[in-house]
Each structure stands twice: as structure tokens, then as C-alpha cells.
Amino acid sequence: GDALRVEPKHREALITRVSARMMQQQFAEAMADVAVLLEAEPTSPEILYLRGVARVGLEKYAEALADLNEVVQKAPQLAAGW
């Protein structure tokens, strides 16, 4: 998108791209974007959630569980719909 050309680390554009890549089962590519987001926000529950979901897609279940458990501890409201 245009926002990524203007500012590569634009948060919302990267989150949108992560979501799109995961819907297309491009989990490795999604993880690359998540890594950029985590550089800026290493403890963000929202970004940790995205990483957890991407890790499930990559069949890295132990790492995914660790991420999702951290999300539950930091932001239980995000986990309410699971």
C-alpha cells in the first residue's frame, strides 16, 4: 500500500499486511512484518497475538502458546472471544 512506500514502519499498514498475509497462508512473510512491529513495540499484546497466530500457521505450537499466554496475562480482554 501507499503507506508502506511513505513510511515502511507505518504500524497500521503493517498490521493490515500481516493480517492479509495470514489469510493467504503466507505465515513466514507475516512473521517478517511482525518482527518489524515488535522492534517498535516489543510488549504490545496486539502484536504478540499476531505473532502467536502466525506461529500456529508455521506449526510452531510451543512458541505460539507462549505468545498467546502472554497476551492473556497482559490483555485478557483480547482473549475474551477465544
Indicate if the pLDDT at residue 3 is higher than 60.
no
d(CA 50, CA 57): 11
Q: Residues 8-60: pLDDT tens digits?
A: 668 899 999 999 999 999 999 999 999 999 998 999 999 999 999 999 999 99
Q: Three-state SS across 17-69? A: HHHHHHHCCCHHHHHHHHHHHHHHCCCCHHHHHHHHHHHHHCCCHHHHHHHHH
Only one residue has cell 500456529, namely 56
Q: Which residue has the higher pLDDT, 78 or 55?
A: 55
Global confidence as pTM = 0.85
Please choose, from the candidates 76, 53, 74, 75, the residue with its C-alpha nearest in 3D space to the C-alpha of residue 64: 53
* 77 sits in which H/E element: helix 76-79
